[in-house]
């Protein structure tokens, strides 16, 4: 087996708790403004618009755009859907930046520090660079490098993302491992020759849902947290 | 004056001591192999081939290439010029990677940590991403982000580098400050609307040379070190 030299991480869901972070801020905002919003459903609806928006870029239907721009367009739709009309431009701008303030999972920072002691660690996210840099500063994420959709002008699962990451980090695809809580992302990485680590994130969509957490023999590693992955990798 | 939000750094010479680091490794290698090489002249000759190689890309004469590839081509020329024929492929590969092992100046790491407490800090270097990531790991450079020539497919002083950095970091050009020990780099940054900080590095080319260290009123800041810059910026 080729030596693993670098790890690239999916971010939303794998590294940070987007659902809990967005729902929390929406709840606080609703209270401040005296609005009645189901914050859990609001967070899921916002996130739900994300993949269709990327797929429209991937199919060539719309031009490449930063996730910040997509998030804002989806937010407008979701606000209309939830009949929220009381937000100022400044409030909407601030709310849209909640994606820069997503909280790491409890094992994230300690796990990344251990993994960083042995490997190059980088994001490989559909988020934009500015968002990922701000998120890292807010959450104390110790990346060696920030690679994102705007680094390559593509979104995962386009091959340009996985192969581009190997090229930028000067490693062979088989020396690079994709770390993600989403099996489709790992399968696309594997198809491009990368190694794979599946991380179980049971609460990515909040409580009371039923995500697919089953380990798979097809993945190079299966782990319950970044600390478990660090342990398995001898960090 | 627009608020400064992020700092981007020239790396070779500004952040790390390329001359001392390269000369030191060449001296050790020469001793091991029983060769007589003037390590100071060797380092300068190697570095001397760098800008002409980039200019050939910038003029369209040759295709874009990573600095690692350019460094290797120049190394072959310099080895021939110094009549060194005794190196194996593995030794040449290792020597070429000396650029990944350049040592920070004594004030660099402490200065960057202070600056990072208040600003986003990123490289903006003609080096390639992999080189800069390895250098940061070797030297403990706490970058928030690594932006380089292969991020943009351009070399400084092309405008795409300075404006691209502002775009990726989601700041306006006037909210971004270029930090460099080279006045031509700063002047190109200023032409594209960035703020500028000149850092005096009297020993960039070793001792016994006469670099232009004069502060200039045209620059936003003039500083004797990163610690001095941090002080002036209130970090």
Give the single-character DSSP code of A105. P
Q: Is the pLDDT of residue B210 over 80?
A: no
Buried b / exposed e over B101-118, threshold 16 CB at 10 Å, is: bbebbebbbebbbbbbee
Determine the pLDDT at residue A210: 77
DSSP letter assigned to residue A15: T
What's the rounded mean pLDDT across residues A139-157? 96
Q: Which of A120, A128, A129 sits opposite B133 (nearest CB)?
A: A120
Question: Could you tell me which chain B residue has the CA closest to the CA of A5?
Answer: B134
Report percent pLDDT > 90 for chain A: 91
pLDDT averaged over chain A? 95
Q: In this complex, do B169 and A133 lie within 8 Å of one another by their Cβ atoms? A: yes
Q: How far is A206 from chain B (nearest CA, A)?
A: 30
> Is A1 contained in some domain?
no
Boundary-marking domain end, from B61, B83, B100: B100
Contact A146, B145 (CB under 8 A): yes
Chains A & B: contacts with CB separation below 8 Å: 52
B28 assigned to some structural domain: yes
Pairing of strands B103-104, B16-17: antiparallel
Residues of A in contact with B146 (CB under 8 A): 144-146
Greater model confidence, A2 or B166: B166
Report the pLDDT value the prediction gives residue A4, as an integer from 0 to 100: 98
Chain B residues with at least one Cβ partner in A under 8 Å: 68, 120, 122, 128-131, 133-134, 136-137, 144-146, 150-151, 168-171
Q: What are residue A173's DSSP bridge partners?
A: none
Task: Give how many domains chain A has, as a whole number.
Answer: 2
Whether residues B116 and B177 fall in one domain: yes
Angstroms from A118 CA to nearest CA on chain B? 10
The reply to whether B13 and B26 lie within a common domain is no
Average pLDDT of the residues in B105-115: 98
Residue B209 confidence class, pLDDT cut points 50, 70, 90: confident
ipTM: 0.93
Tell me the residues of A at the B interface, defined by beta carbons under 8 Å apart: 68, 120, 122, 128-131, 133-134, 136-137, 144-146, 150-151, 168-171
For B65-103, how does the pLDDT look when each residue is reduced to its tens digit (9 = 90+)? 899 999 999 999 999 999 999 899 999 999 999 999 999
Cα dist from A73 to A69, A76, A189, B88, B167, whole Å: 6, 5, 29, 57, 19
User: Chain B partners of A120 at a C-beta cutoff of 8 Å?
Assistant: 133-134, 137
Question: Least CA distance to B170: which residue of chain A?
Answer: A130
Average pLDDT, whole number, for chain B? 95
% of chain B beyond a pLDDT of 90: 91
User: pLDDT, tens digit, for every residue of A172-227?
Assistant: 999 999 999 999 999 999 999 999 999 999 999 887 777 899 999 999 999 999 99
Same structural domain, A125 and A176 = yes
Burial B157-185 (b: 16+ CB within 10 A, else e): bbebbbbbbbbbbbbebebbbbbbbbbeb
Tell me the residue range of the domain where B118 lies.
6-17+102-232
Q: Is the pLDDT of residue A1 over 80?
A: no
Chain B nearest-CA distance from A148, in A, is 10
Which CATH number does the domain housing residue B185 bear?
3.40.50.1000
Chain A positions touching B123 (Cβ under 8 A) are none
User: Among partner residues A122, A129, A137, which is closest to B168 by beta-carbon distance?
Assistant: A129
What is the pLDDT, as a whole number, of residue A88? 95
- pLDDT given for residue A206 in this prediction: 85
CATH number at residue B70: 1.10.150.240
Which tens digits make up the pLDDT trace of B138-170? 999 999 999 999 999 999 999 999 999 999 999
């Amino acid at each position: 087996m080729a030596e693993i030299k670098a790890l690239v991480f999916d971010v939303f869901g794998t590294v940070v708790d987007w659902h809990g972070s967005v729902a929390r801020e929406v709840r606080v905002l609703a209270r401040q403004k005296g609005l009645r919003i189901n914050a859990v459903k609001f967070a899921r609806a916002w996130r739900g618009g994300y993949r269709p928006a990327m797929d429209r870029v991937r199919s060539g239907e719309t031009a490449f755009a930063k996730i910040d721009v997509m998030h804002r367009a989806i937010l407008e739709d979701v606000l209309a859907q939830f009949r929220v009309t009381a937000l100022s431009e400044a409030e909407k701008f601030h709310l849209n930046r909640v994606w820069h303030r997503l909280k790491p999972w409890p094992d994230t920072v300690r796990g990344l520090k251990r993994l960083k002691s042995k490997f190059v660690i980088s994001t490989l996210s559909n988020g934009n660079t500015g968002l990922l840099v701000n998120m890292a500063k807010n959450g104390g994420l110790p990346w060696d490098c920030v690679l994102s959709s705007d680094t390559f002008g593509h979104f995962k699962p386009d091959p340009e993302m996985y192969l581009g990451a190997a090229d930028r980090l000067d490693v062979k695809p088989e020396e690079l491992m994709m770390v993600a809580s989403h099996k489709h992302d790992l399968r696309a990485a594997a198809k491009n020759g990368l190694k794979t680590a599946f991380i179980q994130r049971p609460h990515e969509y909040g409580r009371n849902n039923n995500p697919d957490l089953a380990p798979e023999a097809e993945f190079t590693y299966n782990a319950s947290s970044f600390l478990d992955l660090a342990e398995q990798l001898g960090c």
